[in-house]
Amino acid sequence: MALLPRSLHSSWLGPHQRSLQATRVLLRLMFGPAEARAIRTRLWDGSEEGPAEARLTLVLKRPGALRRMLLPPSDLSVAEGYLYGDYDLEGDVEVLMAQGAAIAERLFQPKTILQLLPLLLALPAHDHPLRPKYVSPLQGEAHSKHRDAQAIQAHYDIGNEFYALWLDERMVYSCAYFPSGQETLEEAQRIKLDRICRKLRLKSGEHLLDIGSGWGGLAIYAAQNYGVQVTGITLSPAQLGVARKRAEAAGVTDRVTFELRDYRDLPHQTFDKIASVGMVEHVGRAKLPGYFAEAHRLLRPGGLFLNHGIVPAITPPFFQVGAKLIEGYLSKHSFMQEYVFPDGELRPLSELLGYAERVGFEIRDVENMREHYALTLREWVRRLERQHDEVVRLTDEVTYRIWRLYMAGSADSFAAGRIGVVQTLLARPTADGNASLPLNRTDVELASGQLDSDQAEPAN
């Protein structure tokens, strides 16, 4: 049986034509009808296929492009092909992610693998070297304080100006809240911050600890609008500098302090309320019981802790063995680990809640806001794309591509329900059982547009 399609055997085909032909056959094998409708393709000779109205054009720029993407088949290979310019993505990147699962499923059929391999091997091997590891490997034991600081700096210290180009004006780097879906990112972030303050039932004069305070958005907002004292901690020196300047500009330095500090290094002191927004993803499975224990220790009886973080959907039992193997492999070799969040770890909500309960927290309110994160990420991607030239001037093309791919991919994962983002309100009741919460949650709910100015009335 001839392994290559007949058309590729023709003796008159030079290597150039042969690569073009093999690539066209490969694309037809990869794409089912849905992908063929959604994705247009352009090869390095300028030839195009697919509907003109497609939302995405996949531009293969080198004859070896598909070979490097698919050998070995992993999300890392696919991502690196894009990062280093084997292919471009024109239009809506999320389309590729949305079709990715169907494409992968089709490619992993034994019959397809037999058809694919000879075609891939007919393409030239990598004719364009990958850059050396973009993120330098972290040193030390996973989730030691020393190594966590390196992991955080690798992601957050690439430049305040870079983040300012596409985040909202407060530079909030976590899921926003869009009550109607029509809000601007600025409004939605502000509504999110206010909801956190409301869920925590912040009252004037209380002391709030913000674990993972980022560029200072929540701390400053809470001090300005709820009259609280705030201590914010971050592991990123770049964030710290901006947060302090912003507190100064807002005139709240008497009430807001930012420190470069690990959550495990807080002195013996108690707080009335604690918030942790977009930070728990960095803690690591082994350290999660200690993380919740630390929050419990730092909270006064009668205090509240709001933990906001990303959680993965649980794989159905049938797939669990396979999922464990894949998880083990991906935890070392995924695009997200290698290029985006080194040492980041997502744990299921049920597991997080279990740790929280075991240290004595009472679970009072759980809200999954995954649709809101898809909206937030799409807005970040749009802004990043609009700022392409400026992003490249401040960083480089690879950084632009890393962030574009990671954020579009995450938007699709939230929209599809592969991951969620959950705000959990945990109480540490007093000895006589008082959790300091009202009988209903109407004080939290807020119609869109109710917050119409920076002088919004405090909720207390």
Ligand X SMILES: C[S@@+](CC[C@H](N)C(=O)[O-])C[C@H]1O[C@@H](n2cnc3c(N)ncnc32)[C@H](O)[C@@H]1O
- Cα gap 65→44, rounded to integer Å: 10
Q: Is 81 an interacting residue with respect to ligand X (CB under 6 A)?
A: no
- Cα gap 201→273, rounded to integer Å: 9
**Pick from 208, 209, 263, 215: which is nearest to 237 by CA?**
215
Question: Contacting ligand X (CB under 6 A), which of 214, 284, 309, 409?
Answer: 214
- Cα gap 85→62, rounded to integer Å: 9
Q: Is 233 an interacting residue with respect to ligand X (CB under 6 A)?
A: yes
Question: Contacting ligand X (CB under 6 A), which of 21, 99, 150, 174?
Answer: 174
Collapsed DSSP state (helix, strand, coil) of residue 180: coil
Q: Is 150 an interacting residue with respect to ligand X (CB under 6 A)?
A: no
For ligand X, the closer of residues 32 and 278 by Cβ is: 278
Question: Contacting ligand X (CB under 6 A), which of 82, 162, 178, 263?
Answer: 263
Q: Is 421 an interacting residue with respect to ligand X (CB under 6 A)?
A: no
Q: Is 193 an interacting residue with respect to ligand X (CB under 6 A)?
A: no
Q: Is 212 an interacting residue with respect to ligand X (CB under 6 A)?
A: yes
Question: Contacting ligand X (CB under 6 A), which of 234, 307, 334, 399?
Answer: 234
Q: Which stretch binds ligand X (CB under 6 A): 158-166, 170-178, 246-254, 294-302?
A: 170-178
Could you tell me the smallest distance in angstroms from the CB atom of residue 351 to ligand X? 19
**Pick from 49, 87, 90, 46: which is nearest to 68 by CA?**
87
Q: Is 236 an interacting residue with respect to ligand X (CB under 6 A)?
A: yes
Could you tell me the smallest distance in angstroms from the CB atom of residue 215 to ligand X? 6
**Pick from 212, 368, 210, 332: which is nearest to 283 by CA?**
212
DSSP 130-158: PPS-SSPPP-SSTT-HHHHHHHHHHHHTT
Q: Is 156 an interacting residue with respect to ligand X (CB under 6 A)?
A: yes
For ligand X, the closer of residues 218 and 427 by Cβ is: 218
Question: What is the strand order of the sheet 271-277 is part of?
Answer: 256-260, 229-234, 207-211, 271-277, 299-312, 419-428, 362-368
* Site string (50-69) toward ligand X, x via CB under 6 A: --------------------
Distances (CA, A) of 319 to 325, 326, 355, 415: 10, 10, 25, 22
Q: Is 373 an interacting residue with respect to ligand X (CB under 6 A)?
A: no
- Cα gap 176→184, rounded to integer Å: 10
**Contacts with ligand X in 306-325 (CB under 6 A)?**
none
Length of the chain: 460
Q: Contacts with ligand X: how many residues (CB under 6 A)?
A: 22
Enter the tokens of residue 304: 């509240």
For ligand X, the closer of residues 31 and 305 by Cβ is: 305
Could you tell me the smallest distance in angstroms from the CB atom of residue 192 to ligand X? 9
For ligand X, the closer of residues 98 and 172 by Cβ is: 172
Q: Is 239 an interacting residue with respect to ligand X (CB under 6 A)?
A: yes
For ligand X, the closer of residues 96 and 377 by Cβ is: 377
Could you tell me the smallest distance in angstroms from the CB atom of residue 421 to ligand X? 11
Q: Which stretch binds ligand X (CB under 6 A): 111-119, 277-285, 314-322, 327-335?
A: 277-285
- Cα gap 17→393, rounded to integer Å: 37
Q: Which stretch binds ligand X (CB under 6 A): 158-166, 171-179, 371-379, 392-400?
A: 171-179
C-alpha angle 224/225/231, rounded to 5°?
Answer: 55
Backbone angles phi, psi at 297, to 5 degrees: -60, -35
Q: Which stretch binds ligand X (CB under 6 A): 104-112, 209-217, 357-365, 390-398?
A: 209-217
Q: Is 259 an interacting residue with respect to ligand X (CB under 6 A)?
A: no
For ligand X, the closer of residues 148 and 379 by Cβ is: 148
Distances (CA, A) of 191 to 104, 371, 449, 453: 39, 15, 9, 11
Q: Is 262 an interacting residue with respect to ligand X (CB under 6 A)?
A: yes
For ligand X, the closer of residues 262 and 362 by Cβ is: 262
For ligand X, the closer of residues 54 and 219 by Cβ is: 219
Question: Contacting ligand X (CB under 6 A), which of 173, 178, 226, 271?
Answer: 173
Exposure of 86 by Cβ count < 10 A (0-12 exposed, 13-18 middle, 19+ buried)?
buried
Could you tell me the smallest distance in angstroms from the CB atom of residue 246 to ligand X? 12
- Cα gap 246→253, rounded to integer Å: 9
**Pick from 339, 336, 356: which is nearest to 348 by CA?**
356
- Cα gap 425→420, rounded to integer Å: 16
Q: Is 223 an interacting residue with respect to ligand X (CB under 6 A)?
A: no
Give start and end residues of each alpha helix (H) in 64-121. 65-70, 75-83, 94-107, 110-121
Binding residues for ligand X (CB under 6 A): 148, 152, 156, 172-174, 211-214, 217, 233-236, 239, 262-263, 277-279, 282
